[in-house]
Amino acid sequence: MVSWLLPVKLTTTCDADVRYYPFDKQSCLVGLFAWGYNADLIKINAVADSLDMTQYEENPIWSLVSTVQRSSQAPAVGLAFSLIFKRKPEFFLMNFLLPIMLMCFMNMFVFLLPAQSGERVGFCITVLLSIAVFLSIVSSTLPQTSSPQMAMVCYLLVVHVILSLLIMMCTIIGLKFYFRSEEVEVPRRIARLTQFVNNIRKTNLNRTSISPDSQSTIPVKAKTEPDDVQLNEEKRDATDTEVSWKNVSAALDKTCFVVFMATALTCNFSFLIVLTSS
């Protein structure tokens, strides 16, 4: 019996599915076949179910999860290997995803800046340019492939850019409302929406529960006369006219802050949940 150990260094490639980058796993199939020989001339058997990893060197980007080897007798004689690699995402998370998400959330606080400070538009443009410059720097680390599917992180970047553009547009609209002349009357619908937004917190704070033991009076609604109806309408119109454009701008800032913050939280956490659960 003769043992002939022939060292050979082979280089091969495999198709990568980067859909869940940087939490992706890649499965590479490698086949070594003795072409020109059939099962009657040569027989190859796998000595183990997995590869011998005594000579394996750890990779700084990939970690080897598992290996499988098996012999094949038909249609060709040889060995087939299956290697599963998992990417190490820590570097990408700390140097790419985390800064992008922090800048996205920082962009929401533009609605908390005083409108009279004159720094809102400059703040929005600065954050938007920071995101654009940061993306141009780290674009080389993203997988430049669309087959079988583009990386989901690319869609997240598009969402962040769209959110930044929408925030800048809403900021400009809010400033336009704030500096509009008070001689221009606020439309009734906008005034009612403004009162609704500004009174949400007051309504929640003024709600009180009445216990069965407490003594309370029940108001009795009397019959409304036509003069009273006309008076109530005049009071309602007077209340609508009390809303100024500065109140409209403040209500728009509150609404935009809540809406964009909820949207950013939903998009970012959904993205992380989908990637990590994959």
Residues 100 and 84 in one domain: no
Question: Is residue 144 predicted with pLDDT exceeding 80?
Answer: no
Examine residue 110 and state whether it is found in any structural domain, yes or no: yes
- For residue 28, which amino acid is it? C
Residue 261 falls within a domain, yes or no? Answer: yes
Q: Are residues 59 and 121 in the same domain?
A: no
Q: What is the pLDDT of residue 133?
A: 81
d(CA 28, CA 169): 47
> What pLDDT score was predicted for residue 262?
92
**Mean pLDDT, the chain, whole residue set:** 77
pLDDT higher than threshold 60 for residue 241: no
- For 137-152, give the DSSP string: HHGGGS----SS---H
Q: What pLDDT does 1 receive?
A: 60
What six digits make up the tokens of 152? Answer: 């989901």
Alpha helices (H) along 75-223: 90-92, 98-108, 120-138, 152-178, 188-206
Residue 169 shares a structural domain with residue 272: yes
Domain count across the chain: 2
Q: For residue 259, what pLDDT is reported? A: 92
Q: Are residues 72 and 152 in the same domain?
A: no
148: in domain: yes
Apex CA 142: angle with CA 137 and CA 148, to 5°?
155
**Judgement on whether residues 60 and 171 belong to the same structural domain of the protein:** no
DSSP string computed for 182-248: TTSPPPHHHHHHHHHHHHHHHHHHH--PPPTTS--PPP-PPPPPHHHHHHHHHHHHHHHHT--HHHH
pLDDT of 212 higher than 50? no
pTM of the model: 0.70
As a whole number of Å, the end-to-end CA separation of the chain is: 49
152 and 252 inside one domain: yes
Structure tokens that stand for 16 in this block = 């990568």
pLDDT, one tens digit per residue, over 167-210 is 989 989 888 888 888 888 888 888 888 888 877 655 454 444 44
| pLDDT of 40 over the 60 cut | yes
Contacts of residue 42, Cβ cutoff 8 Å, sequence gap at least 6: 34, 77
Rounded average pLDDT over 33-56: 77
| Confidence (pLDDT) at 237 | 47
Query: What are the residues whose beta carbons fall under 8 Å from the beta carbon of 130, sequence distance 6 or more?
Result: 103
Least confident of 93-97, 117-121, 147-151: 147-151
Q: Give the range of the structural domain holding residue 257, as residue numbers without chain letter.
A: 91-197+233-277
